[in-house]
Amino acid sequence: MTIARRTFLKGAASAASLSLAAPMISRSYAQGSSGEVKIFAWAGYVNDAMLQAFNQATGIKASFTPYGTNDELLNQLRANNGGGFDIIWPTVDRVPNYVEYDLVQPIDEAKVEVARCLPSAWENSKTLGAVIEGKRFQVPTDWGTEGIAFDKDQAPLEYGTASYGDIWKEDMVGKATVRGHSGLVGLGLWLEAEGKLPMPMREAFVSEENMVKVYDVILAEAVKRKGNIAQFWTNENEAQGAFRVNGCAVGQTWDSTGAALAKEGLPIGFIAPKEGALTWMEGISIPKGATNLDQAYAFINWFLTPEAGAMYTNATSISSTAVGAEAHLEQAAKDFFAAAYPGDALEKLWWWPIQENWFVTKRNEYQDRFLSA
């Protein structure tokens, strides 16, 4: 695999582009310790093999509690006043929400093996939401996308012509799946490319006034074409079930959804649309009420080793930010990435802007109006 796998070139939330440096093999692992660490992360992100490997490397016992959405994570942490867990795994664009509610603590960078993280992931996460008023609140650990999953037999797609618009075409009535709020963004990017938005999609994240102007257009189009949607999804299991159980032929899903269905032998592909795959970075944050701080930092440093990063990517098909992880990837993971992001797809990635609390509240209102229409 070439360095293209780790190169982000356009579409960052700031004017600066993202470019991930060539990997180097890290030279050390988390030091031996004891105790426990409580992990609250996306369903499917941590498996038994990873927990066992972490325990063997550090002597620390780890427990894992899964969640399905960013909102589920935020609501749980607010209910616990920032307590109950030592590690959480929000997307970087949502980190400001946790800071505003005083739910997370600043990262002690002296305790992080920063050299283990791809340099540009570390630097550019600052503009995507990880650093607020000069303080870092998240260590970047992985990145992935939301693009087009498709049935190769019923709805074959090719890079360069594949579009978010393929989900909303007349021949896909009753055959499509999207997540409510991000499906509206994908539809918006298609409408923007067609010259049908009053301003670029990204401007909707700047102010409520802009958002209303943009989302009113998107919502009207979404309601008109709602008959295409056979099932809405909110988490990984539901997204996979849309294809596996409910007969969907096309959908806007996470990359991991397409990879998981393909591993089952189903004729499902995943491709970046020509408008740009919706791209997110995630990472580990430490809740305000964490009680096992040394163990939390030990997990962060272990997760950024090449072996752990590759173990994560091989299991999820989500790209790790660990330096040197590429050297340990299975061929299936390499093949999936090459098929999903051919040509100039990595240059067209559409990075999620920071979603401030006002935006999340408003976008959920539009989502609810779409779902209930």
Instruction: Return the number of other C-beta atoms located less than 10 Å from residue 14's C-beta.
Output: 13
pTM for this entry: 0.87
pLDDT reported for residue 36: 97
Per-residue pLDDT 10s for the chain (373 aa) are 222 333 433 333 333 334 433 333 333 444 556 799 999 999 999 999 999 999 999 999 999 999 999 999 999 999 999 999 999 999 999 999 999 999 999 999 999 999 999 998 999 999 999 999 999 999 999 999 999 999 999 999 999 999 999 999 999 999 999 999 999 999 999 999 999 999 999 999 999 999 999 999 999 999 999 999 999 999 999 999 999 999 999 999 999 999 999 999 999 999 999 999 999 999 999 999 999 999 999 999 999 999 999 999 999 989 999 999 999 999 999 999 999 999 999 999 999 999 999 999 999 999 999 999 9
Question: What is the domain range of residue 195?
Answer: 145-278
At 52, phi and psi to the nearest 5?
Answer: -70, -40
Q: Kindly report the CATH number assigned to the domain that includes residue 179.
A: 3.40.190.10
pLDDT reported for residue 17: 39
Q: Look up residue 164 and give its amino acid.
A: Y
User: Do 7 and 101 have their domain in common?
Assistant: yes
Q: What angle, 0 to 180 degrees and rounded to 10, lies between the N-to-C axes of helices 293-303 and 48-58?
A: 110
User: Do 262 and 160 have their domain in common?
Assistant: yes
User: Do 13 and 138 have their domain in common?
Assistant: yes
Residue 248 forms part of a structural domain: yes
pLDDT reported for residue 120: 85
100: its two tokens: 């505003």
User: Do 9 and 128 have their domain in common?
Assistant: yes
pLDDT reported for residue 33: 65
How many domains does the chain contain in total? Answer: 2
pLDDT reported for residue 86: 98
User: Of 86, 39, 107, 78, nearest to 289 (Cα)?
Assistant: 86
User: Do 251 and 138 have their domain in common?
Assistant: no
Residue 369 forms part of a structural domain: no
User: Do 19 and 166 have their domain in common?
Assistant: no
297: its two tokens: 């930092």
Beta strands in the chain (DSSP E): 36-42, 61-67, 87-88, 104-105, 131-132, 135-136, 139-151, 176-179, 229-233, 250-254, 268-271, 278-284, 286-287, 319-320, 350-351
Integer angstrom CA distances of residue 57 from 186, 234, 302: 42, 35, 8
191: its two tokens: 């409408």
Residue 372 forms part of a structural domain: no
Q: Contact 24/323 with Cβ under 8 angstroms?
A: yes
Q: How much is the CA Rg of the chain, to the nearest whole Å? A: 20
